[in-house]
Amino acid sequence: MSKYTVDQVGNYLSSGFWAGRTPVNLGSTITVDLSSLTAANDFLARAAISAWADLGLNFSFATGGHADIKLQDDFSGAYTDWTRPRDNGWWFSTYYPTVNVGRDFTQAYGSKYGEYLSQTWLHEIGHALGLGHAGNYNNRATYGIDNHYANDSWQMSVMSYFAQDDNYTTGASFAYVLTPMPADIAAIENLYDLQPTAGAGDTTYFWDTNAGGAHGRIGRMISNGTLADTPFTLTIMDRSGIDRLNFRGETAAVNIDLTPGSINSAFGLRGNVLIERRTVIENVDGSAGNDVIKGQDADNQLIGRGGNDRLEGRAGQDDLVGNAGDDMLIGGTGDDRLTGGGGRDVLDGGAGSDTAVYIGATGVLVDLARPERNTGDAAGDRLISIENVIGTAGEDTLRGTAYDNRLVGGAGNDQLDGDWGVDILEGGAGNDVLRGGAGSDRLFGGDGADRIVVDFGQDRVRGGDGADVFLFHGGQMTLVDFTDNVDDLVIYRAAVADADLTKAEILDNAKIVGGDMLLYLTPSRLIRLEGVTDVSTLADDLFLI
């Protein structure tokens, strides 16, 4: 038996079950009368309405009199009836549904949110909105006999008669349905002009939620433990903002793929968290377990927290954070940031210019060319396709490769060596030593008394605040912020050996061009001091050694 797509099931729910158009034709604002419900059923019915409203349906409540949908619990059983009123002998085209979920259901199944009674309200209100069953069955059905397609289950639609574990093809855990599922959303989109408002803005789901509607209720109940013993499934539909799935309070591992339309596992269950097919979720906070979290084409932030995690950014410029445990971080395409945290981690940047981040550690040695030398939090880490390193607030030693590298020391007295390639070195605060190596590099000392060494290439240098020493071996250097009587410029004699220049001759040969001082050492060796126009200011700041 073949599987149906979400659209195929959605079409069946909205028209196929009825062998034509649904009997319901409600307006843009749907009025609901629930004035006769007991308190328990009133709460569950409103929760179900909230879940349907999250799709972009507009509900209002009426007490007595005429309403588009009437909810009651007066009679036994759970069912939805339709009436078509008439006036002066003419039948109106609109059917008005009455939903009954009897008090016998409350006695049989209890009134706890997230269990079968609340799912029954969600199901029956789905009928009232115009949805049929997910197959040609009513009252009861047996999987393998009554289903029309292989993937008929609650995982696809709340209108199905088959729990996830009734259908062996799902591989999912038994779970009660808290929201409309993917095919239900497609069916409602067939019937209504939706204006989704749920998830507007930057929304966090589950722990520490800021969501409204049904997902806000679910998140708060997860955080306060109310749903801890309830197996549940849901679908997230969110068409805007930068959004996050937060599992930070969970001990059980999660398996999350942010691809739209994906089926995911969390809260100790399999196949219970679904992402609607046009929904883009950007970020995930993992659990204390061994998580598998995968991004998509957006710029994702994936945080593993505890456990030995596998994080895959895929496309986009991603931020992957493993935290504790022996983690595997795979950036994929794009310029990614990979933070392994504690443990022996694998940081695989993939395509793009990728960065290993050690900000949270206390001083590291990171040698991109010879990682077996690495110490501190970097010891034992395997660095693959990593071009850049951001160090710690402590004293770091960062060394590049023959490729183009960016090395950032941060606070502390750091030593940065670009080696070959066109490198960017940033010392940050502290008394740092920066050496660009071969290639045309950009060197930024930052705050503190820094030593900046220029070897070859055409380097651009900024010392930053503090008394800096600039050491020139060769090539060409543009010095952006030389300060008289604060900074020192040291020229190695080897740099002028061909011309056999003295300090006095260097100063005599200096030229002022375009507001900058040019020191011509040899035909291929030049120092430009931006903004310096008085040669005499170098008299006590220039050294030849």
Q: What is the three-state SS of 51-115?
A: HHHCCCCEEEECCCCCCCEEEECCCCCEEEEEECCEECCEECCCCEEEEEECHHHHHHHCCCCCC
Q: What is the pLDDT of residue 27?
A: 76
pLDDT at 126 over 60: yes
Give the Cα separation of 186 and 199 in Å (integer). Answer: 18
- Which residue is it, tokens 């930068």? 242
Give 455's contacts (C-beta < 8 A, 6+ positions apart): 435, 436, 437, 438, 473, 474, 475
Q: What is the pLDDT of residue 283?
A: 99
Q: What is the pLDDT of residue 65?
A: 66
pLDDT band at 152 (very low <50, low <70, confident <90, very high): very high
pLDDT at 80 over 80: yes
Enumerate the β-bridge partners of residue 338.
320, 356
Q: What is the pLDDT of residue 86?
A: 46
Pairing of strands 78-83, 96-101: antiparallel
Q: Hey, which residues are catalytic here?
A: 124
Q: What is the pLDDT of residue 199?
A: 73
pLDDT at 276 over 60: yes
Q: What is the mean pLDDT of the segment spanning 169-188? A: 98
What is the Cα Rg of the chain in Å?
Answer: 33
Cα angle 497, 501, 507 (rounded to 5 degrees) comes to: 140
Q: What is the mean pLDDT of the segment spanning 307-333? A: 98
pLDDT at 451 over 50: yes
Give the Cα separation of 487 and 452 in Å (integer). Answer: 11
The lowest-confidence range among 20-24, 99-103, 108-112, 371-375 is 20-24
Q: What is the mean pLDDT of the segment spanning 72-87? A: 82
| Segment 395-417, tens digit of pLDDT | 999 999 999 999 999 999 999 99
Q: What is the pLDDT of residue 23?
A: 63
The per-residue pLDDT of the chain, averaged, comes to 95
Residue from 208, 221, 216 nearest 236 by CA: 216
CA distance from start to end of the chain: 85
Q: What is the pLDDT of residue 90?
A: 41
Q: What is the mean pLDDT of the segment spanning 57-62? A: 94
Q: What is the pLDDT of residue 496?
A: 87
Domains and their CATH numbers in the chain: 6-166 (3.40.390), 467-545 (no CATH)
pLDDT band at 22 (very low <50, low <70, confident <90, very high): low
Q: Dihedral (C-alpha) 341, 346, 351, 353: value to the nearest 10 degrees?
A: 40
Give the Cα separation of 500 and 110 in Å (integer). Answer: 96
The lowest-confidence range among 83-92, 278-287, 507-516 is 83-92
Give 166's contacts (C-beta < 8 A, 6+ positions apart): 143, 153
**Residue 491, burial from CB neighbour count under 10 angstroms (0-12, 13-18, 19+):** buried
pLDDT band at 261 (very low <50, low <70, confident <90, very high): very high
The lowest-confidence range among 72-86, 101-115, 166-180, 272-286 is 72-86
Give the Cα separation of 532 and 90 in Å (integer). Answer: 95
At 444 the three-state DSSP class reads strand
* CA atoms in the 13 A half-sphere facing the CB of 288: 4
Q: What is the mean pLDDT of the segment spanning 264-268? A: 99
Give the Cα separation of 281 and 296 in Å (integer). Answer: 9
Q: What is the mean pLDDT of the segment spanning 82-109? A: 74
CB-based contact 429:410 (threshold 8 Å): yes
- Which residue is it, tokens 């990593």? 386
pLDDT at 93 over 60: no
| Segment 224-257, tens digit of pLDDT | 999 999 999 999 999 999 999 999 999 999 999 9
Q: What is the pLDDT of residue 95?
A: 67
Give the Cα separation of 349 and 284 in Å (integer). Answer: 19
User: For the whole model, what pTM was predicted?
Assistant: 0.94
Which tokens hold the place of 393?
Answer: 């607030």
Within 10 angstroms of residue 260's Cβ, the number of other Cβ atoms is: 14
Q: What is the pLDDT of residue 89?
A: 44
Q: What is the pLDDT of residue 198?
A: 67
Q: Exposure pattern of 301-332 as b/e (b: 16+ CB <10 Å)?
A: bbbbbbbbbbbbbbbbbbbbbbbbbbbbbbbb
Q: What is the pLDDT of residue 32?
A: 96
pLDDT band at 153 (very low <50, low <70, confident <90, very high): very high
Q: What is the pLDDT of residue 245?
A: 99
Q: What is the pLDDT of residue 456?
A: 87
Q: What is the pLDDT of residue 25?
A: 65
Q: Exposure pattern of 445-466 as b/e (b: 16+ CB <10 Å)?
A: bbbbbbbbbbbbbebbbbbbeb
pLDDT at 84 over 70: no
Q: What is the mean pLDDT of the segment spanning 153-158? A: 99
CB-based contact 101:120 (threshold 8 Å): yes
- Axis crossing angle, helix 213-223 with helix 39-53, rounded to the nearest 10: 120
pLDDT at 75 over 50: yes
Q: pLDDT above 90 covers what percent of the chain?
A: 91
pLDDT band at 28 (very low <50, low <70, confident <90, very high): confident
pLDDT band at 40 (very low <50, low <70, confident <90, very high): very high
CA 449 distance to own-chain centroid: 39
pLDDT at 142 over 80: yes
pLDDT at 211 over 80: yes
